[in-house]
Amino acid sequence: MRANSHTVAADDRIQAWPRASDAASRISVVIPTYNEAANIAGLLTALFALPLNIHVLVVDDNSPDGTGRVVDELAAAYPGRVDVLHRPGKLGLRSAYLGGFQKVLKEGANVVVQMDADLSHHPSALLDIIKRLDTADVVFGSRYVAGGSVDDRWPLWRKALSAFGNGYVRTILGLPLHDATTGYRAWRRETLLQMPLERIHSSGYVFLVEMAYLADCLKFSIAESPIYFADRRWGKSKMSVRIQLEAALRIWQVWWNYRDLRRAGRAARLEAWGSISHGTSS
């Protein structure tokens, strides 16, 4: 059966894309939220203080704490720079990001940024990430390159688990990355438009790994920028041991599902050029 999908048409002619760091470059930050009312205003204030042409799209899953209403108020305070997608409930990270990508690309984003809403990703790190994007197809904010680190308050077991998870992913998928599970990323517009995002099926945190693996299979250049990962100060973490165990099993499915793209490499980009879609089989 054909997939139900929503497609954004893209101009497939050769275009003179602006450098990511150019003042004219439109940088769209996509932020999924669920119960982040205590964090979202501070995050947006910090983002708009940066010397970048930033626009923010919040994808809110009907947060019981009223995050969506807070963002509506912020949209009035920052006209033309804040938008929100109100969703009826918790629909997963995959659909939040892919729906967000679809919207901001249609609106003309030159750069698309992924980041968490809980202030664990410091907005100031975006300056170096965007600078590095001038010479890369995508840049990952990394905790595990020189200059990167995690919160000092993390207990030893949590640091060990994070390091093991990254090593596990790198070993199985052969990813040339120090931090394959980071959620702080910046993508060039043309990179996303050449990726068959409808191939991605993971709906949880493995979505981040699967997207990284897809980019690597297509031989896009991936750079890493050091970041400090702060533990959330307000709200409850959504990570659990159960989620991590499910992720460990799902990695093997990711490896199996992309055998064809791994073989095709760069040539497989042509199949995705011109559109970005997402959907589920029916």
- Specify the pLDDT at position 44: 98
Question: How much of the chain is in helix, strand and coil states, percent to nearest 5?
Answer: 40, 20, 40
- Specify the pLDDT at position 232: 57
- Specify the pLDDT at position 71: 98
Q: What is this structure's pTM?
A: 0.86
Strands (E), 202-274: 222-226, 228-229
The CA distance from 118 to 281, in Å, is 33
Class at the top of the CATH hierarchy for domain 22-271 = alpha beta
- Specify the pLDDT at position 270: 54
Strands (E), the chain: 3-9, 27-33, 54-60, 82-86, 111-114, 138-142, 149-150, 185-188, 222-226, 228-229, 275-281
- Specify the pLDDT at position 211: 97
Q: What are phi and psi of 88, to 5 degrees?
A: -75, -15
- Specify the pLDDT at position 60: 98
Ordered by start, the domain boundaries in the chain are: 22-271
* Percent of the chain clearing pLDDT 90 (strictly above): 71
DSSP label at residue 138: E
Give the 3-state secondary structure of residue 159.
Answer: helix
CB 41 within 8 A of CB 125: no
Task: Mark the ranges of the chain whose per-residue pLDDT is less than 70.
Answer: 1-17, 232-246, 270-282
What's the half-sphere exposure (Cβ side, CA atoms, 13 Å) at 269? 16
